[in-house]
Each structure stands twice: as C-alpha cells, then as structure tokens.
Structure 1
Amino acid sequence: MKPYKSTDTKITDISALEPDAIYTYQDYLRWSFEERVELIKGKLFKMSPAPSRKHQEVSRELSLALGNFLKGKTCKVYAAPFDVRFPNTNDQKTYTVVQPDLCVICDHTKLDDAGCNGAPDLIIEILSPSTAAKDLKDKFELYEENGVKEYWVIYPEVAVVETYLLNADGKYSPPVKYVNGQSVNSEVLAGFEVLVSELFVD
C-alpha cells in the first residue's frame, strides 16, 4: 500500500478515497461523508451502517451498568461514536483511529476534545456479522499491542461474553467465556460485575 496524497480539501464522498492507500488521522479529520469508518494502521475499514437491535440493547444495558458503577469514581465510560487514537511510537504520527462500542478510560491525561489519545483501560466490542472478523483479528491484535488492559467481545446472537486480560508479557491470556446464568467480572474495574442475562433483553 502507498501513502495517500493528502490535500487540504474536505472529502464529502467516500468513493473519492483510494481503497489501498495508507491514511493518517489528519486525513481522517478532513472526511465529512456520511459513512462511518475506522483506520487501523493506516488501512481504511468501513463500519456497520446500522447496528442490529440486539447490538443496541446490549450497548445500552452495559452503558447504564458501567455508568452507574463509575459514578463518583475516576474512570469514565464512553460509547460509540467516540474516537480512540493510537499514535505510532516511531514517528508520533497517528495511523489508527477506531470507535469501540464502549470504552473506559481512567487516565484523564489521555482525554481531549477529540476523544482518547492512547489506550483505554477497558474496551468492549459487540460483534456484528459485517465487523466480526475485524473485531476478532485486527482489533484484537491492535488492542493487545497497544496495551489495552482488558478486552471484552460480546456475541449478541448467542448471548455469550468473552473477556481477555493483558498479562505481564503484554499478551492477552486465553479468553474467559461467560454464558447465561453467570456474572461477568472485570479485573481492571475491581468490583464491577454484570449478569449475562441482564445484557440480552428480549
């Protein structure tokens, strides 16, 4: 892939972009088309145009549970669309900006008006058929190498939650799976737990 030839012109049509080019966060800021996109190491990924009803319900229940738990605490929870940037350690340019379904940030120095610059403490992705491969591979590797301490992957169609915890070697430990009748516990947010059955409302 080749670097995109940046211009100062606002781009209002996604078809004007070069699918195989490498983009930066500065390019991303000049895009004003309707489609939601993410950049992972400069590569353009389209997001799901409209999450399913189950996806939205899980996001709502988790947002409420996390919001109530974090009242009066230092950490903050944010729901998509909310930009999380991962700067390149070599040249400090940003080639990655993603919009996790939910994320929790405890270090306020990472927060600015544009979103979060650096790794959140906890990221939660709710799988959609069109984004499952990206969440399970590209984002998994991205969050691991950038030091996201805890990563939850939620499968709304089968009511399953998997959690990954970053170990001392900077790698995610094998997933812990939670199903109906169990409570999901967070290691990063000590004391936070939620019943799997409460996330999947009919």
Structure 2
Amino acid sequence: MKSVKPYPTEEELPLIETLNEIDFSASYSYADYMRFAFNERLEIIKGHLFKMSLAPSRIHQEILTNIFGPIYNILKGKQCRVYTAPFDVRLAKKTYSDREVFTVVQPDIVVIFDPEKLDKRGCIVAPDIVVEILSPGNNKKELINKYEVYEEAGVKEYWIVSSTEKTFFRYILDEKGKFQPTKLLTAGAEVTTPIMPGFSLDLEDVFKD
C-alpha cells in the first residue's frame, strides 16, 4: 500500500517573506498566518485575508487610550485582562489546532474575564468584550464580517466606536446566542455594563481631543 506523506510541521513549512507571495483568493489558516514574515498586518476572517492599516491615525489612538484606561483601572488587581492591538484573537471552533483555525483577528481592545482563554500567543476563543474603533476604509469589514464571527464565537459585547462620527454603538449577546443592537450613543452619554460591575465610560472624555 502506498504510504501517505504526513502534513508538514510548522518548522518544515517555508516562511512567506513578502506580501506579493500571498494569494488573496485562497483560504488561509492560523498555521499559514504564523508563516507570514513581512511587516504588513493581515487578519483572517473565515479563511479570507484582509489587510489592516499599518499606522492608525492619532485620533484613533487617542480614542483607544481613552477607552482602555477606564477598563484597565476597573480590572486592576483582578484575574481579568484587557489588551490592545496588536494582539491575536484566534476564534477556534471544533479544535484548537493551528491548521483548523480560520479566523484570526486583532481587535483594537479585548477584555477577557477567564485567564484560561489565554495562551502565550494570545486568546484562543471568544473574548468577553471586543472593541473596534472604525477608521475610513475598514467600516465594511468591521460591521459585516467581524459582526458575524464575533456573534458565532459568543462574544458577550461588541462595541463599535466611530472616530469620525464620534458615536458609540454596542451589540449585546442574548440567551439565544444572537447579537441585539442597543441605542446609538454620542459624546456626553455614559456607558456601563452589567458584565463589568463598577465600570463607567464617559463618552465626552472618550472623544475629547
């Protein structure tokens, strides 16, 4: 009987040195993602590659800091963790095998209550809270593609912040595992959540420049 050659290990697979070697029509896994040796940042959503901005705007970074700070302060001293991009979130489904993980994203901010969801390379399943700060050019990806994978993975709250419109919008996962939209908030409103007791976010402070 003819023997079947085993799939190469990560060490045997060659690195992908330049973006020109990427076939954006092909399907990629986290095992492929680990072979990327170029500077350009990519995310994988259901096997499809998406380019990321190399340098977010100053306003984007200001908003990120203004959201991260209050979250960090309320979680300080607890087992919960909060991270900012670049930080890999692998949304594994049936198996944690690198070759079977087809969604790898880098949200602007992630909050993780259970440290068992973490390993040395990032987060392996759904974070509890995901924050995406929209920038020109990436709105479609965040609002459509990521909405679907975050809902399917079981992210409890998905926050969408617009740096240009200065708005805050949140989806909350219901008991049936479906996202429910909430009221659009603007500067001056306050954000609280029952899954993070004591937390309060003043959107006037978030959008100040």
> Do the aligned partners of residues 160 and 24 (structure 1) sit closer, same or farther apart at CA in structure 2, a change above 3 Å counting?
same
Q: Which amino acid aligns with 2:107?
A: P
Task: Please name the residue that 2:4 is paired with.
Answer: none
CA deviations 1:137-193 (Å, max 9, x no partner) are 000111001000001000111211001110011111123221121101123212211
| 1:31 corresponds to which of 36, 39, 57 | 36
Identify the match of residue 162 of structure 1 among 154, 159, 169: 169
Give, as a single letter, the amino acid of the residue that structure 1 aligns with 2:55: A
**Which residue number in structure 1 is paired with residue 22 of structure 2?**
17
Given the alignment of the two structures, is residue 73 of structure 1 paired with residue 67 of structure 2, yes or no? no
In structure 2, C-alpha distance between the alignment counterparts of 1:106 and 1:149, rounded to whole Å: 11
Match of 1:50 in 2: 55
Instruction: Verify: 1:148 aligned to 2:155, yes or no.
Output: yes
TM-score of the superposed pair, with normalisation by structure 1: 0.93
CA distance in 2, matches of 1:81, 1:90: 24
Task: Quote the sequence identity (%).
Answer: 43
Kindly state the Cα deviation for residue 48 of structure 1 after the two structures are TM-superposed. Answer: 1.4
- Offset at residue 90 of structure 1 (A): 7.0
Query: Which moved further from structure 2: 79-88 or 7-16?
Result: 7-16
Contact 1:164–1:176 (CA under 8 A) maintained in structure 2: no
- Separation (CA, whole Å) in 2 of partners of 1:198 and 1:159: 11
Unaligned 5+ segments in structure 1 are: none
The answer for unaligned runs of 5 or more in structure 2 is: 1-7
**Shift >3 Å, 4+ stretches:** none
Instruction: Determine the C-alpha separation between the residues in 1 that align with 2:85 and 2:121.
Output: 13
Give CA-to-partner distance per residue, 1:53-106, whole Å, 9 cap, x none. Answer: 111000011111111111112211000000000113279510110000000011
Higher strand share: 1
Find the residue that maps to 2:188 and give its secondary structure: coil
Is 1:118 aligned to 2:125, yes or no?
Answer: yes
**Equivalent residues of 1:87, 1:96 under 8 A apart:** yes
Select between 45-54 and 136-145 the one with higher mean Cα deviation: 45-54
Which residue does 2:3 correspond to in 1? none
The 5 A counterparts of 1:70-109 are 70-89=75-94, 93-109=100-116
What is the CA–CA distance in structure 2 between the aligned matches of 1:95 and 1:174, rounded to whole Å?
26
In our comparison, the structure showing a higher alpha carbon Rg is 2
Report the residue type matching 2:113 in the other structure: C
